[in-house]
Amino acid sequence: MHDFLRALPKVELHLHIEGSLEPELMFVLAQRNGIELPYATVQEAKDAYHFSDLKGFLNLYFQGMNVLRHEEDFYDLAMDYFKRARGEGVVHIDMHFDPQAHLQRGVPLEVVMTGLLKAKQEAEDTLDLSIGMIMAFLRDRPAEEALHVLEQAAPYWKLLDAVGLDSAEQNNPPAKFVDVFQRAKQLGLVRVAHAGEEGPADYIKEALDLLGVQRIDHGVRCLENAEVVERLRSEQIVLTVCPLSNVSLKVVEELRDHPLPKLLEKGLKVTISSDDPAYFGGGMLTNHTACAEAFGWDEAVFRQITRNAIDEAFITETRRGELLNRLAAL
């Protein structure tokens, strides 16, 4: 099974590039930029990665990305992950990034975009890896700020595949961002949002109705509302489920308790992603292997999940056909 999962042309629809920052690279960048870290060693950083909820994680996530200052830091961050993912058999990544988290620290949008776009170009030219770009808004910040960032991103609108919504979910409902997402729609941008990770199933409905999202990131709490489940099923809305993330952030106690098998049973369009692989114990291959062990899934289940992700990925139809062929040939 492990060989099959490695060879499977995996497509990751939900990845925060800042959450792929491994402690090893964090130390390199800290030294390069003359920044003092709150950890003495790589091991000390890894030992600190125990979370009781999403907010606890986000504190360390925002602290970790403080080493990202220059264009080449963003390039190194992304290339480091792209190479690692490709080594695990990943063929496409839709990458979230958080401009506000960098703007707040005085890092201009141009620095972030130039570094990330350079890495995307290089991955597509040399690694046989396609990359989608999702500019995410921090839902615990004011909506006006998000709107301002969206306008500021005018030079990059054509290069974005979608806008997203992430960060602390509870008490930050999708409704807060209606104007921002309306503007994104007007600009012809696809919309996605985190919903039903720590927040209630109602937030999933809100994201669909008020923000017009095309996919739901996480969405695991949909099971608390039969109407929402039926909506997701009948419209075949993709859920980007992140199993090891949900265990790390205590959305579920352990992987065996995870609702993934139930979501599949209900006929939902499930996919698997790593979310923040540097913080949650591993990337795409580890997430797939862990699911195989916890749920006893056979190859057919993983083929279906991969087909779902290929269907939904932000890629050209030529690339989509290519990836479907590759899956069929496995």
Residues labelled as active-site residues: 197
From the list ligand ADE, Zn ion, none, which binds 10 (C-beta under 5 to 8 Å, kind-based)?
none
- The CA distance from 309 to 195, in Å, is 18
Q: For the chain, how many helices (H) and strands (E)?
A: 16, 8
Closer of 71 and 197 to ligand ADE (Cβ): 197
Rg (alpha carbons) of the chain, rounded to whole number: 18
- Decide if 255 contacts 247 (C-beta within 8 A): yes
- Decide if 139 contacts 177 (C-beta within 8 A): yes
State the minimum distance, in angstroms, from the CB of residue 136 to Zn ion.
8
From the list ligand ADE, Zn ion, none, which binds 20 (C-beta under 5 to 8 Å, kind-based)?
none
| Continuous segment of H or E residues that includes residue 133 | strand 130-138
* DSSP SS3 for 194: strand
Stretch that binds Zn ion, among 29-37, 47-55, 103-111, 275-283 (CB under 5 A): 275-283
Stretch that binds Zn ion, among 107-115, 261-269, 274-282, 305-313 (CB under 5 A): 274-282
Instruction: State which of residues 10, 13, 15, 19 lies at the interface with ligand ADE (CB under 6 A).
Output: 19
User: Which residues lie below 8 Å from residue 64, measured CB to CB, with a gap of 6+?
Assistant: 18, 21, 26, 278
Instruction: State which of residues 66, 240, 245, 273 lies at the interface with ligand ADE (CB under 6 A).
Output: 245
How long, in residues, is the chain? Answer: 330
- Decide if 92 contacts 128 (C-beta within 8 A): no
Per CB under 6 A, which of residues 27..56 are in contact with ligand ADE? 54
* Joined tokens for residue 26: 């964090």
Residues binding Zn ion: what is the number (CB under 5 A)? 1
Closer of 284 and 327 to ligand ADE (Cβ): 284
Q: Does residue 275 belong to the site contacting Zn ion (CB under 5 A)?
A: yes
Interface ranges with ligand ADE (CB under 6 A):
16, 19, 54, 61, 166-167, 194, 197, 245, 275-276
Interface ranges with Zn ion (CB under 5 A):
275
